[in-house]
Structure 1
Amino acid sequence: MSGHQHDEGHTIAGWTGCVIATAGAAVAGAGICGWRPGIWLGLGVMASALLVTWALHLAGWGKPPGPRPADQWAMKVRDRAARHGHTGCLGCRLAGRRGAPRRTDAAPEAMPADIASRTSAPADLSS
């Protein structure tokens, strides 16, 4: 069992992108130290890391924004909701996936009493 009891977001998409981006940074670093084609090659590898991570996220190997249920914390668990998109996810929105539609016909939730008292209009003091 893991030493932590919260969702760290460790996913196949995240780790793969991190490894590719690290390799790109190493190549770009070699370019800075004297191997001039390395700068552009390294930047290209880092850009590919972004695209690979995004593709894996859209394929279900990433994670949606926010915490996940405990049974989905393992890296080998694929996110089945990725096909329709995650609500509030920039990567899904860029791919044209909007996620679950938000209900606009629902009644607004009542404000707690302490917040309502602070936001109400002040009483008329002229009378």
Structure 2
Amino acid sequence: MSAHQYDHGHTVAGWTGFGTACVGAAVLGVGVCTVSGAWLALGLGMVTMALLVTWALHLAGWGKPSGRRPREEWPMRARDSQARQGHAGCLGCRLAGRGRREVVPEVVPEVVTVARSEPALLAPAE
């Protein structure tokens, strides 16, 4: 049993997004230090681009779901075989219209019948 069977986030999508977001954060830092709106806008744009690029690479099969995978899918450059169907519980896949929707049984609340009686008269307060 290998300790790397989960390899959390070691994917092309993960590292590309991380690298782009780090550069964007550095540009944001320059914008804060120089009090420059242009640098701040550029940094925010780069961080947003990191999010979109990571999402696109995940949907293209370069990101992997959490949990155990077969040994042949452990390397970072191995493409995900489940990407076209979508991953269960993955927000990115659901936003793209993919993903396995788990069937949740409809819960019907139990109806409780309460007998109606005449209201009791309260004694006046002394």
Band of TM-score, shorter chain: 0.7 to 0.9
Instruction: State the distance in 2 between where 1:102 and 1:39 align.
Output: 41
Measured after TM superposition, the shift of residue 39 of structure 1 is 1.2
Matched, 1:17 2:17: yes
- 1:8 corresponds to which residue? 7
SS in 1 for 2:82: helix
- 1:66 corresponds to which residue? 67
Matched, 1:30 2:30: yes
Instruction: State the distance in 2 between where 1:71 and 1:102 align.
Output: 27
Show CA shifts across 1:98-121 (max 9, x none): 23x6578xxxxxxxxxxxxxxxxx
Q: Could you tell me whether the CA contact under 8 Å between 1:60 and 1:79 is conserved in 2? A: yes
SS in 1 for 2:61: helix
Give the 4+ runs in structure 1 shifted more than 2 A: 3-6, 101-104
Q: How many residues are aligned here?
A: 102
- 1:110 corresponds to which residue? none
Which deviates further from its counterpart, 68-77 or 18-27?
Answer: 68-77
CA RMSD after TM alignment: 2.1
Q: Which amino acid aligns with 2:44?
A: L
Q: Could you tell me whether the CA contact under 8 Å between 1:60 and 1:83 is conserved in 2? A: yes
Map residues 35-46 of structure 1 onto 2, 5 A cutoff: 36=36, 37-46=38-47
Instruction: State the distance in 2 between where 1:93 and 1:103 align.
Output: 14
Structure number having the greater helix percentage:
1
Q: Could you tell me whether the CA contact under 8 Å between 1:85 and 1:92 is conserved in 2? A: yes
- 2:124 corresponds to which residue? none
TM-score after normalising by structure 2: 0.72
TM-score after normalising by structure 1: 0.72
Matched, 1:47 2:45: no
Q: Could you tell me whether the CA contact under 8 Å between 1:20 and 1:49 is conserved in 2? A: yes
Task: Give the share of equivalent positions with the same residue, in percent.
Answer: 55
Give unmatched runs, 5+ long, in structure 2.
105-126
Give unmatched runs, 5+ long, in structure 1.
105-127
Measured after TM superposition, the shift of residue 65 of structure 1 is 2.8
Measured after TM superposition, the shift of residue 90 of structure 1 is 0.7
